[in-house]
Structure 1
Amino acid sequence: MIQAVIFDLDRTLLDRDASVEHFINHQYDRYKLSLESVSKEVFTSRFIELDQGGYRPKDQVYQQLMVELDLEKRLEEKLYKDYNDSFQRYCTPFQGLHEVLLQLRSSKLRLGMITNGYGRFQMDNIQALGIQPFFETILISEWEGVKKPDPMIFKRAMERMNLRSDACVYVGDHLEKDVRAAEDIGMTAIWKKGRQDEKSFVRYSIYHLKELPTLIKKLNKEERPCYLK
């Protein structure tokens, strides 16, 4: 019987692509006088390319951006600090986020979260989405000293919720760091697919969060193997 749903954050609850696009367009506008030698289209599109879907450290992104676009070195630190200080103001949830979390909670399901990233930065984003109160435990890799796909961070979440792996569903967008890692410790994994994701053999997947409550009900009707905690 599924008792808890544990989520990833970026590209699962937070529409990171929309958030980044929103942020970088506004950052250009706010620093337009210092960036006048570069068009908005060039600056924003190159930032998004260098960002590599969020997997590249932002200090490296801005460092390379300054070199490629022949911008003043002093701008690098300012823009990087602005990213860390301001990104949460542009956080965009996936459609139906709050409604789905409310529906899961009303079904007596407990909610948790495991996300890689810097502690304060990720918590600011979670709070900006207004979803922190839904979750009884939130693990952020910097604060935990371990990150996905290491099984330790998944086990730590289960320990804090006092649950076995077969009582947990994990929902995430990354095939290796989320889906495979959760399956390897005995959780049921659900792949939150993006529009550009190719077909891959995954037993359970959703495109939209609103599909999740129905899938959870279906899973609770299936006979699934039991695993040790």
Structure 2
Amino acid sequence: MKTIITDVFFDLDHTLWDFEKNSALAFETIFKNYQIEIDLDKFLVHYVPINLKYWEMYRTEQITQTQLRYGRLKDTFDLIQYQIDDDKINFLSDKYIYYLPKYNHLFDGTIEILEYLKPKYKLHIITNGFAEIQNNKLNNANINHYFQTITNSEMAGVKKPNPIIFQHALVKSKAKKENSIMIGDCIEADIYGAIHSGFDAILFNEHKKTIPENIKQVHHLLELKEHL
């Protein structure tokens, strides 16, 4: 007998909210406004993988939020041999956090799939992002009204894939794990985290990376209609 899904939990960054596009726009604005003479494309080639590495360390409790925000910029500036002092790095880090949620590009199909799902399921967010920034992203992108609950790592005290954050989301949403499904882009945090917490899960695999055959996946958000 097929399990009936009642509650759909989404990750936000890299799943609905186009982090890389919005991040690039934030840096473009910062470099222009504060006279940082760097080629944006050259900067991003290094920053994008460095940022992912730092988020992995943050997710696994190896570094603090402050170390994440400083280190990803420091390492990138060092790699491109751009001379900048620590005070300026911290200043730019603060400005990046300020500008980032002001951009609101979503992945193709986001609104359509949320419109499709909302009448059928209760929709929720589980994110490792910082509470204020994530709320601003949802509001500025005008998608906050689709979700009944928002669970972030600050309120849960842990980050995905820790089962505590999934349990926190269940309590907040009044959902049952056996009737819940998680959709996200990170196989470790979102998919394995959800599965180990008793959820079903679907990977948003936009870049078509090779993954284990037993993991359900979609390459475009509208493909979720085939599963839900």
Same fold, judged at TM 0.5 (above): yes
1: CA distance between counterparts of 2:159 and 2:140?
A: 23
In the alignment, is the contact (CA less than 8 A) between 2:11 and 2:127 conserved in 1?
yes
Structure 1: any 5+ residue segments left out of the alignment?
Answer: 217-229
Q: Which residue of 2 aligns with 1:174?
A: 186
1: CA distance between counterparts of 2:54 and 2:144?
A: 22
Indicate the structure (1 or 2) with the bigger Cα radius of gyration: 1
Deviation per CA, 1:54-86: give whole Å up to 9, x if none.
716222122334444112444212211111111
- Give the TM-score normalised by structure 1: 0.84
Change (3 A) 1:49 1:184: closer
Aligned residues: 212
Letter in 2 for 1:200: P
Change (3 A) 1:183 1:40: closer
Q: Which residue of 2 aligns with 1:11?
A: 14
Of 195, 202, 205 in structure 2, the residue corresponding to residue 183 of structure 1 is 195
Of 96, 100, 104 in structure 1, the residue corresponding to residue 117 of structure 2 is 104
In the alignment, is the contact (CA less than 8 A) between 1:173 and 1:191 conserved in 2?
yes
Q: Which residue of 1 aligns with 2:131?
A: 119
In the alignment, is the contact (CA less than 8 A) between 1:66 and 1:76 conserved in 2?
no
- Give the TM-score normalised by structure 2: 0.84
User: Equivalences for 1:19-168 in 2 at 5 Å?
Assistant: 19-31=22-34, 33=35, 35-36=36-37, 38-52=38-52, 55=55, 57-67=68-78, 68-107=81-120, 109-168=121-180
1: CA distance between counterparts of 2:28 and 2:53?
A: 16
Structure 2: any 5+ residue segments left out of the alignment?
Answer: 58-67
In the alignment, is the contact (CA less than 8 A) between 1:66 and 1:73 conserved in 2?
no
1: CA distance between counterparts of 2:54 and 2:113?
A: 25
